[in-house]
Amino acid sequence: MKMKLTTLALGALMAAGPAMADLVFPSLSYRTGPYAAGGIPFADGYADYFTLVNERDGGIGGVKTRLIECETGYNTEKGVECYESTKGEGALVYQPLSTGITYQLIPKTAADGIPLHTMGYGRTSAANGEVFGNVFNYPANYWDGASGIINYLLDENGGDLKGKKIALVFHNSAYGKEPIRTLEELSAKHGFELTTLPVDHPGQEQKSQWLQIRRERPDFVLMWGWGVMNQVAIQEAANIRFPMENFIGVWWSGAEHDVMPAGDAADGYKAVTFHNVGRDFPVFDDIQKYVVDKGLAAGAGDQIGNVLYNRGLYAAMLAVEAAKTAQEMHGTADITPAMMRDGMEALEMPEARMAALGMRYFGPAFNVSCENHGGPGLVGVTQWDASSKTWSLIADFQKTDSDVIKPLIDADSASYASENGIEPRCQ
Amino acid sequence: MFYREAGDFKVSYEQDSQTFPIKFDRYRYYFVLFIAFLVIPFTINDYWASAILLPFLIYSIAAIGLNILVGYCGQVSLGTGGFMAVGAYACYKLMTTFPEVSMFIHVLLAGGITGVVCVLFGLPSLRIKGFYLAVATLAAQFFLVWLFNRVPWFYNYSASGQINAPEREAFGILITGPNAPAWATYLFCLIFLTFCALVARNLTRGMVGRSWMAIRDMDIAAEIIGVNPLKAKLTAFAVSGFFIGISGALFFALYLGAVEVGEAFGITKSFQVLFMVIIGGLGSIFGSFAGAAFLVLLPVILKVVGVDVLGWPTDIVAHFQLVIVGALIVFFLIVEPHGLAQLWRVAKEKLRLWPFPH
């Protein structure tokens, strides 16, 4: 009997063998902890798109995708465990959705030869592909976000911000500190006055920061927040009757769950974005048909069409398109992480390609190149309407100030290169 | 049957005062060392090293350090996270300033620097006691984290405020950075853990340790019989800080590789190490190991069972982890308030008499 069981088990293992040929996409998600409100919709969107690709197209180039989800809780120690436990499965690309975990994975993925895609987060200077061969942060990064907000304010104020006061409320971590350098440069260039107000993790306590804002009366408040910090900040802004249309968040501070708790008081709050919002795209019909109706939706299935769900969907779509590019480049359906990296570097996303996927104008059209892993950095602005409970795009994707950003990226990546002895590629 | 003392004659003082007087115990100890030093390094892979063994070894060092302060000297400390941060940042500054010096020396120096800082924050312990001292060390925790966030010199003026461990060597072998082999990082931590455990064990058996315990049991009585409280308390803070600093340096340089002070060394870290000490057993070296193993391994085991074996959703498993670990802590503390070390002691007593208990 025991023999039989062993043979059975062996047989099962053999049968499970060919499953190794799947295209593996790990999802280092966080559905628990203080940042779960943002982690859940992103993870759902990411998972649902892969389910859709499997159900509708039979995988990528005929090979099924397999999503391995691992819970990090936004915690770097669990992130290490997740990375180590999934990398052996043939993981093609990592998207940790955490700047802290990204900083850890940059050297590790480089050593293991697995690409890392940090879409709109992580280390901004990774946009320099000459130094960071394995890391991609297209289509936009934090510094594009900072510049995009300032450009938008310039437009609103007739091209002049001289003498205006701008306050930055930021999460006191690597993530929140990223835009400060760019904003300082921009304040010198455009002559506005910048005040920075750090908020410590997790951000429930912001009374003193908003008291300062009330006292100093800045013209505009920018926010680099995540998790519970966002909704507290918006509530505090409402409490001091700060005009919401002058309060602009980065893309991680502009989702439904951030503005809902403040109710009508949040009406008019703005956030920048690098992808479109809402569910007015044909791809959502497919998701309804192939994923939701079949009962395959990830999580509770109640996040579809939310801002961060769309972002997860967009991230997964870009990963799938990069995998397709890699399959064409190397002429094999069964790609390795190294091939995936090549595919990401050669990725081209014209509008026609997105339209074919039922996602016309879902994000800006862009190309990735060996030198530029950050895309064109086109940034749009969305605004919250509390009565209809929807976000809408009020300013189209526009160019950011590369005169300011490019030298900063070059300087920061050059210091990383010299610290780690990296020779520039792409010659 | 096991742990039999009959026939195990001691003929010299050295034999009488050795760490493991019972022969079976001693051989078990040699066996563990043999496995740890000569078997595991040849079979280790990346997953075992970075996900399980490194955190276990490093948390064990931290728990031994805290156990000296809390378990042996009776000075409650909630500043462990902050002191680990001192070790990590000291190590980072040393690594980047003197790249050619061996990591071995950097880690030891980082421990020394932490020891000095720990003594400074231990000075109030001469006047305040118990819960009030806990609050004072809590202030140390918040002050140190604030300091490393606020002063850019500590993180070499990097834009993000993160510190990243560059590649460094010890004895010509790469120890830090992503290309360091798993066995090397493992052995490096193991050497430090063995060293710390030996030092701690022998200190606590000697005069210094006895003066700590005298202070812990009743400080006024200890003072009357001639124990100098200034010396006893400050040496406890110094030794504890030294070990915690080593663990902080290893935690940053070998285990995580990139650290952000608020996230990695926040107040939760202080509580985590304190829980290890309490669950493992106050005033016991073995308890430090047991507590660290319990809190490091249990979540991983639960995750593997829940997600990989049973195929449950990851968030349900993560919530279950909290529930199960919490319930087990309560259970252990009710059934055995002296921690896992006491369970082990009781088991040994039973085995000694087995199979003829009287």
pLDDT tens-digit profile of A140-160? 889 999 999 999 999 989 888
Q: pLDDT above 90 covers what percent of chain B?
A: 53
Residue B328: per-residue pLDDT: 86
Both tokens of B272, joined, read 């985590």
pLDDT tens-digit profile of B124-151? 888 888 888 888 899 999 999 999 988 9
Region B79-89: mean pLDDT is 95
Both tokens of B45, joined, read 């892979």
Chain B residues whose beta carbon lies within 8 Å of the beta carbon of residue A112: 178
In a domain, A5, yes or no: no
Q: Searching chain A, which residue's CA lies closest to the CA of residue B55? A: A77
Do both A197 and A158 map to the same domain?
A: yes
Statement: residue A20 has pLDDT above 70: no
Do both A151 and A267 map to the same domain?
A: yes
Q: Which of A339, A360, A376 is the last residue of a domain?
A: A376
Residue A100: per-residue pLDDT: 87
Task: Tell me the one-letter amino acid at A344.
Answer: M
Statement: residue A13 has pLDDT above 50: no
A83 band by pLDDT with thresholds 50, 70 and 90: very high
Interstrand relation of B169-170 and A379-385 (parallel, antiparallel or unpaired): unpaired
Chain B residues whose beta carbon lies within 8 Å of the beta carbon of residue A420: 166-167
Do both A265 and A284 map to the same domain?
A: no
Looking at B218-313, list the stretches that DSSP marks H as alpha helix, in order from N- to C-terminal side: 219-224, 229-250, 261-264, 267-280, 285-303
Region A249-277: mean pLDDT is 92
Contact B315 A32 (CB under 8 A): yes
Contact A174 B161 (CB under 8 A): yes
Both tokens of A279, joined, read 């569910």
Q: Which domain holds residue A240?
A: 142-273+379-402
In a domain, A421, yes or no: no
Determine which of B255, B314, B317 to mutate to test the interface with A (most A C-beta atoms within 10 Å): B314
Q: Is the peptide bond before A261 cis (omega within 30 degrees of 0)?
A: no
Statement: residue A17 has pLDDT above 80: no
- C-alpha distance from A367 to closest chain B C-alpha (Å): 27
Q: Which of A330, A358, A376 is the last residue of a domain?
A: A376
Statement: residue A2 has pLDDT above 50: no
Q: Searching chain B, which residue's CA lies closest to the CA of residue A110? A: B178
Structural domains counted in chain A: 2
Residue A215: per-residue pLDDT: 92
pTM of the model: 0.90
Which residue, among A323, A330, A341, A276, has the nearest Cα to A114 in the 3D structure?
A341
Region A354-378: mean pLDDT is 90
In a domain, A412, yes or no: no
Do both A61 and A158 map to the same domain?
A: no
Asked if residue B136 lies in contact with residue B121, where contact means CB atoms within 8 angstroms, the answer is yes
Determine which of A135, A173, A226, A420 to mutate to test the interface with B (most B C-beta atoms within 10 Å): A173
In a domain, A372, yes or no: yes
Residue B50: per-residue pLDDT: 87
pLDDT tens-digit profile of A127-139? 999 999 899 998 8
Residue B274: per-residue pLDDT: 93
Do both A256 and A150 map to the same domain?
A: yes
Residue B1: per-residue pLDDT: 62
- C-alpha distance from A297 to closest chain B C-alpha (Å): 13
Looking at the complex, does the CB of residue B175 fall below 8 Å from at least one CB of chain A? no
Among A32, A106, A177, beta carbon nearest to B318: A32
Q: Is the peptide bond before A107 cis (omega within 30 degrees of 0)?
A: no
Chain B residues whose beta carbon lies within 8 Å of the beta carbon of residue A146: none
Asked if residue B104 lies in contact with residue B289, where contact means CB atoms within 8 angstroms, the answer is no
Contact A107 B162 (CB under 8 A): no
- C-alpha distance from B46 to closest chain A C-alpha (Å): 7
Among A77, A100, A177, beta carbon nearest to B55: A77
Residue A9: per-residue pLDDT: 44
Do both A81 and A183 map to the same domain?
A: no
Interstrand relation of B173-174 and B169-170 (parallel, antiparallel or unpaired): antiparallel
In a domain, A162, yes or no: yes
Region B47-64: mean pLDDT is 93
B16 band by pLDDT with thresholds 50, 70 and 90: confident
At B102 the three-state DSSP class reads coil
Statement: residue A424 has pLDDT above 70: yes
Residue B263: per-residue pLDDT: 85
In a domain, A14, yes or no: no
Statement: residue B178 has pLDDT above 90: no
Chain B residues whose beta carbon lies within 8 Å of the beta carbon of residue A172: 149, 262
Q: Say how many Å lie between the first and final Cα of chain B, rounded.
A: 14
* CATH number (domain holding residue A263): 3.40.50.2300
Region B249-258: mean pLDDT is 93
Residue B164: per-residue pLDDT: 87
Statement: residue A10 has pLDDT above 50: no
Contact B315 A73 (CB under 8 A): no
Contact B303 A181 (CB under 8 A): no
Contact B262 A178 (CB under 8 A): no
Which residue, among A217, A222, A261, A223, has the nearest Cα to A241 in the 3D structure?
A217
In a domain, A136, yes or no: yes
Chain B residues whose beta carbon lies within 8 Å of the beta carbon of residue A73: 318
Task: ipTM value, please give it.
Answer: 0.87
Contact A81 B264 (CB under 8 A): no
pLDDT tens-digit profile of A296-310? 998 888 889 899 999
Do both A267 and A212 map to the same domain?
A: yes
Do both A264 and A243 map to the same domain?
A: yes
Residue A6: per-residue pLDDT: 43
Looking at the complex, does the CB of residue B147 fall below 8 Å from at least one CB of chain A? no
Q: Searching chain B, which residue's CA lies closest to the CA of residue A177? A: B160
Region B277-302: mean pLDDT is 91
Residue A376: per-residue pLDDT: 86
Determine which of A29, A89, A103, A121 to mutate to test the interface with B (most B C-beta atoms within 10 Å): A103
Do both A231 and A372 map to the same domain?
A: no
Region A261-282: mean pLDDT is 92
Residue A330: per-residue pLDDT: 93
Q: Searching chain A, which residue's CA lies closest to the CA of residue B168? A: A420
Contact A108 B166 (CB under 8 A): no
Looking at the complex, does the CB of residue B162 fall below 8 Å from at least one CB of chain A? yes
Q: pLDDT above 70 covers what percent of chain B?
A: 99
Among B55, B161, B178, beta carbon nearest to A108: B178
Among B47, B164, B262, beta carbon nearest to A201: B262
pLDDT-wise least confident of A15-19, A328-332, A400-404, B21-25? A15-19
B86 band by pLDDT with thresholds 50, 70 and 90: very high
Statement: residue A1 has pLDDT above 80: no
Looking at chain B, list the stretches that DSSP marks H as alpha helix, in order from N- to C-terminal side: 13-16, 23-34, 40-43, 46-47, 54-66, 80-97, 103-122, 131-150, 182-205, 207-217, 219-224, 229-250, 261-264, 267-280, 285-303, 314-335, 339-353
Looking at the complex, does the CB of residue B268 fall below 8 Å from at least one CB of chain A? no
pLDDT tens-digit profile of A386-403? 999 999 999 888 888 888
Separation CA A406–CA B27 (nearest Å): 64
Chain A residues whose beta carbon lies within 8 Å of the beta carbon of residue B318: 31-32, 71, 73
Among B46, B257, B300, beta carbon nearest to A104: B257
Residue B313: per-residue pLDDT: 86
B residues 51..90 contacting A (CB < 8 A): 51, 55
Do both A60 and A208 map to the same domain?
A: no
**Chain-wide mean pLDDT for chain A?**
89
Q: Searching chain B, which residue's CA lies closest to the CA of residue A30? A: B315
Statement: residue A19 has pLDDT above 80: no
Contact A173 B167 (CB under 8 A): no
B358 band by pLDDT with thresholds 50, 70 and 90: low
User: How many C-beta neighbours within 10 Å does residue A231 have?
Assistant: 22
Do both A167 and A268 map to the same domain?
A: yes
Residue A5: per-residue pLDDT: 44
Region B8-13: mean pLDDT is 86
In a domain, A413, yes or no: no
Do both A281 and A132 map to the same domain?
A: yes
